[in-house]
Structure 1
Amino acid sequence: MVRMVSPLVVAARFRLRHPFFVQVVRYMMVGGLGTAVSAAAFLSLRTAGLEAVPANLVALLVSTAVSTEANRRFTFGGTVVHRWRSRVQVGGTVLFYAFYSSAVLLLLGLVVDAPTPVQETVALAAASVLGGAGRFLVLRYWVFLQS
């Protein structure tokens, strides 16, 4: 006799056996959404007339705060976090991305004469994806203390 196992049971077993893989997939989902929100905010601010670097900083502040909380709740299962670690991580992330993404915008300006807001948005989104891998490791092993 064949015993049927519920898909929910299979999924629960998978999550227990492969927590790192599940966290990576969830982080990528949150990161993709955060990058999309940041890109949309940046593009809307740029097309409204704000200069590239200030528009980037506003979009960065909003998306970092929201994505850190989404990662805490969804990616890392609502893990209790030490407040100072979370604040240091958010502040460090904002500082890192502020300099990193501003450098990307300045470099783009050197490579492309008068880049369009769409070109700037694509460059920032690509830079965000590259920086996200390092952020995952900081969140997992220092902020949310996963083994």
Structure 2
Amino acid sequence: METGQSRQQAAPGAFASFARFVLCGGGVGLASSFAVAALASRIPWVLANAVITVVSMLLATELHARFTFGAGGRATWAQHAQSAGSAAAAYAVTSAAMILLHQLMAAPGAALEQVVYLSASALAGLGRFAVLRRAVFARSRPKTTMAKRTARPVRATVAHAPALLCSCA
């Protein structure tokens, strides 16, 4: 049976990871923007964004575990939970951008909504990349010290206290 350690491949460098992140995350994000628009025609936009954010976060986390960061397999539940934090931040950024757009314009067109949504998603994606690379899918690196120390036996010294004789009458 393979362990998580034996399944891991060499981690791709920062540039390769970012390129893969843009490909996977951008593809999921682009599909999500159309899904949000379609779902928002039936339910309130903020709710549609929440549903699509959850679904796209699960899909993107799997893609990032398998492909982007070279974790060597499926994402663990812990990685999904950690990734959810960055997805919540992305949801807040995209929702705030759309709410601001609707405050500034009474009836923005679908094309402008897409531009604003995708721009906010791209901004949130940069932060999400940093969090996923540095925290969620970070490899455990061996700790190095200034100088290697050799294990030497330590001699214990025991102090002998003089025996006290007490005569209690």
> What TM-score, normalized by structure 2, do the two folds share?
0.67
What CA distance in whole angstroms lies between the structure 2 residues aligned with 1:72 and 1:57? 22
Instruction: Determine which structure has greater relative contact order: mean sequence separation of CA pairs < 8 Å that are 6+ residues apart, divided by chain length.
Output: 1
What CA distance in whole angstroms lies between the structure 2 residues aligned with 1:38 and 1:27? 15
Name stretches of at least 5 consecutive residues in structure 1 with no aligned partner. Answer: 1-15
Higher alpha-carbon deviation: 97-106 or 86-95: 86-95
Partner of 2:31: 37
Deviation at residue 117 of structure 1 after TM alignment: 3.9
- Equivalent residue in structure 1 for 2:20, among 12, 26, 29: 26
Higher helix share: 1
Query: In 2 relative to 1, CA 94–135 (structure 1 residues): closer, same or farther, beyond 3 Å?
Result: closer
Deviation at residue 88 of structure 1 after TM alignment: 3.2
Is the partner of 2:88 in helix, strand or coil?
helix
The answer to whether residue 58 in structure 2 is matched with residue 65 in structure 1 is yes
The answer to whether residue 100 in structure 2 is matched with residue 107 in structure 1 is yes
Q: Tell which structure's C-alpha radius of gyration is larger.
A: 2
CA contact (8 A) 1:52 1:105 kept: no
The equivalences for 1:1-147 within 5 A come to 19-47=13-41, 49-79=42-72, 83-84=77-78, 86-146=79-139
Count of aligned residue pairs for this structure pair: 129
Percent of residue pairs identical = 33
RMSD: 2.1
Name stretches of at least 5 consecutive residues in structure 2 with no aligned partner. Answer: 1-9, 142-169
CA contact (8 A) 1:73 1:79 kept: yes
